[in-house]
């Protein structure tokens, strides 16, 4: 008898077919709408494996209703949507998809940095709305990228990939990390500094740490007060790492110059969120890994992780 699996969002049929070779698969058929909580609660009661996205909250209540569940395969690098302690207590394997989205997310991070610093979105709207009447010396002027100092908070896979891109723009790269990465310092010519030094000296502050209890509101009023008034914050990690109220206050009071955000504390973000009203904020809808090739690869890795777990084999990307 095949193990039963539930997929919480419509994914590529080739990936589903691969899973169906070993599993009995059911899938929520909506691409753009997350599976409702009550339906997920019902579906999970009878399955051996769950293939989920960041949009699903896999908490202790949910896990305790799933007596047969052996594995939760998360199609993402981050896993703050899953109660890891509860899964561990219940003997449920949790997997993720690191590595495959590193370069794609680094591309997007640097694109967001460039768009924010050079006011690309604002300038495009300015033209389309018919506001461009003449050329003037300081019209839509932004911040230089070449030769600027980039401070990266979190020098993991994606952080180091962003650093490589920055070096191509002759940027001075400094970083802060829980552990010093001496090998990367030699390879990339980047410099480890303490957090306060990074905040005080960076033209761009790029948030690259995972979301945990320790990194919740890591960047708040104190940190913004340390930053240059010409500094730009870039966050493509997780929304809860940045205190959004403190960020809004820093932006409207000119404590910092601008922000590029791919993530928010509550997603999808409300259209009346105060940050979306600001011209010096470039906001995009959590598309860090959103290239066709990368998203398909993420789904493939998540499927492989799930199948191997159900076969009692060691999956490549185990969280617990």
**Helix-helix angle 157-167:102-117, to 10 degrees:** 50
DSSP track, the chain: -PPEEEESS---HHHHHHHHTTSEEEE---SSSPPPHHHHHHHHTT-SEEEE-TTS-B-HHHHHT-TT--EEEESSS--TTB-HHHHHHTT-EEE---STTHHHHHHHHHHHHHHHHTTHHHHHHHHHTT---S--TTTT-----TT-EEEEE--SHHHHHHHHHHHTTT-EEEEE-SS--HHHHHHH--EE--HHHHHHH-SEEEE-PPP-TTTTT-BSHHHHHHS-TT-EEEE-S-GGGB-HHHHHHHHHTTSSSEEEES--SSSSPPTT-GGGG-TTEEE--S-TT--HHHHHHHHHHHHHHHHHHHTT---SSB--
56 is catalytic: no
Among 223, 238, 295, 300, the active-site one is: 238
Angstrom distance (rounded) from CA 52 to CA 306: 11
Q: Pull the structure tokens for residue 201.
A: 């000296």
286 is catalytic: yes
Residue 205 forms beta bridges with which residues?
A: 151, 233
Among 119, 286, 295, 300, the active-site one is: 286
Among 14, 29, 30, 267, the active-site one is: 267
197 is catalytic: no
Give me the active site residues, please: 238, 267, 286
């Amino acid at each position: 008898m095949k193990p039963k699996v539930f997929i919480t969002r419509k994914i590529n049929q080739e990936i589903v077919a691969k899973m169906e070779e070993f599993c009995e698969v059911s899938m929520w058929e909506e691409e753009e709408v997350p599976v409702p909580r009550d339906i997920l609660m019902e579906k999970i009661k009878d399955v051996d494996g769950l293939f989920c996205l960041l949009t699903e909250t896999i908490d202790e209540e949910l896990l305790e209703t799933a007596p047969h569940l052996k594995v939760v395969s998360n199609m993402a690098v981050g896993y703050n949507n899953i109660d890891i302690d509860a899964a561990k207590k219940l003997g449920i394997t949790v997997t993720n998809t690191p590595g495959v989205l590193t370069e794609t997310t680094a591309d997007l991070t640097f694109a967001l940095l460039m768009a924010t610093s050079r006011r690309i979105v604002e300038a495009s709207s300015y033209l389309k709305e018919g506001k461009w009447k003449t050329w003037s010396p300081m019209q839509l002027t932004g911040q230089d990228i070449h030769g600027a100092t980039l401070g990266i908070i979190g020098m993991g896979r994606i952080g180091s990939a962003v650093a490589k891109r920055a070096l191509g723009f002759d940027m001075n790269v400094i970083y802060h990390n829980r552990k010093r990465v001496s090998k990367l310092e030699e390879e990339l010519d980047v410099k480890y500094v303490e957090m306060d030094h990074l905040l005080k000296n960076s033209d761009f502050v790029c948030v690259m740490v995972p979301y945990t209890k320790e990194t919740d509101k890591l960047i708040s009023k104190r940190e913004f007060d340390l930053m240059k008034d010409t500094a730009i914050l870039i966050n493509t990690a997780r929304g809860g790492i940045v205190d959004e109220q403190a960020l809004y206050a820093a932006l409207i009071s000119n404590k910092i110059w601008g922000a590029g955000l791919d993530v928010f504390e509550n997603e999808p973000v409300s259209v009346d969120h105060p940050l979306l009203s600001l011209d010096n904020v470039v906001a995009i809808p959590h598309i860090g890994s959103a290239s066709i090739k990368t998203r398909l690869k993420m789904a493939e890795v998540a499927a492989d992780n799930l199948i191997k777990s159900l076969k009692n084999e060691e999956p490549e990307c185990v969280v617990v």
